[in-house]
Amino acid sequence: MGVIDSETVSISLPLSGRDGDQVIAYATQMTGGWRVSDMGTTLMRLSYENDLSKLLTGARQKLFSSILAESGLQEHDGEIFTEVPADALTGGLFTLGQGVIRLEDLGLWTQNRVESTFYDDLKAIIADIVPDADLVENYIVPNIEGAENYPVDFYIKTQSNPLYLFGVLNKDKAMLSTIIIQHLRASGAKFDAMVVYQDIDAVPRQHTKRLMSAANDTVASIGERDAIKEKIEHRRAA
């Protein structure tokens, strides 16, 4: 245990981060209890190997917030902390330590994991809007030669032309979605196309322009749930 100032002490926890260093907690006395903090060291360590402006976006940002909530932690200006009663310091130290270890694993997330989370989230949003009977995932358009090579992420039944919805995580998916939409239309399929990006700003502009020209509706971010719902309901009612 080390003394930082008259109100704060540092405590080495029996836990190690990904870099092998022990996790250090900082306990500060406050009225009626303790504030147990990492003093910003968790995000600082993550920044050594990652661009935080990119790491804490999209699916990773959602996981970051989820870990904080599940662990009973808060974040402010890069500092991870919890506040506990005077007789619960040990529990607060354990809570911080376990949460910090989980947060450091954000740097290990692979692109496949991020992609899986994005599509799971998109599917959940759509499922809240569209009944199961009117929704098909990984839809193969009938009566189209080679249709298995041009799958649609989500088929949504409407009162007229079906709505084909595509989730776009990156430039490769933007290019593929453009090709699929254009091929299906050239083959005579009648449908409306909608695109939902994880983050449109993360996709090069030339690819978003081509896809916007091919699609009927575009939502710039999966975080815009109201826009997704509005556009789907509009197409289903048309």
Residue 115: predicted pLDDT: 67
Mean pLDDT of 59-85: 89
Please give the DSSP secondary-structure letter assigned to residue 154: E
Residue 159 phi, psi dihedral angles, 5° rounding: -80, -10
Residue 117: predicted pLDDT: 77
Give pLDDT tens digits for 135-156.
Answer: 999 999 999 999 999 999 999 9
pTM for the complete prediction? 0.59
| Encoded tokens for 16 | 């190690």
The 8 Å CB, 24+ separation contacts for 117-121 are: 117/59, 117/62, 117/63, 118/58, 118/59, 118/167, 118/169, 118/198, 118/222, 119/153, 119/167, 119/169, 121/59, 121/62, 121/222
> CA 113, CA 38: separation in Å to the nearest integer?
27
Res. 110: pLDDT tops 60: no
Residue 107: predicted pLDDT: 67
Name the average pLDDT for the chain: 89
DSSP string, 42-54: HHHHHHHHS-HHH
Confidence of residue 59 (pLDDT cuts 50, 70, 90): low
> What is the helix, strand, coil percentage profile of the chain, to 5?
50, 25, 25
Mean pLDDT of 113-118: 70
Mean pLDDT of 114-142: 90
Residue 20: predicted pLDDT: 74
Residue 176: predicted pLDDT: 96
Res. 3: pLDDT tops 80: no
Residue 109: predicted pLDDT: 63
CA atoms within 13 A on the CB side of 93: 19
Residue 178: CB atoms within 10 A of its CB come to 23
Residue with more model confidence, 56 or 149: 149
The helix (H) or strand (E) run that includes residue 68 is helix 58-71
- Locate the DSSP E strands across the chain: 2-3, 8-16, 22-30, 33-37, 74-76, 79-85, 135-139, 152-156, 163-168, 192-197, 217-219
Give pLDDT tens digits for 170-207.
Answer: 999 999 999 999 999 999 999 999 999 998 998 999 99
Residue with more model confidence, 107 or 89: 89
Q: List residues bridging with 136 in a β-sheet.
A: 155
> CA 101, CA 108: separation in Å to the nearest integer?
12
Confidence of residue 116 (pLDDT cuts 50, 70, 90): low
Residue 103: predicted pLDDT: 87
Residue with more model confidence, 32 or 108: 32
Lowest average pLDDT, out of 9-18, 22-31, 71-80, goes to 9-18
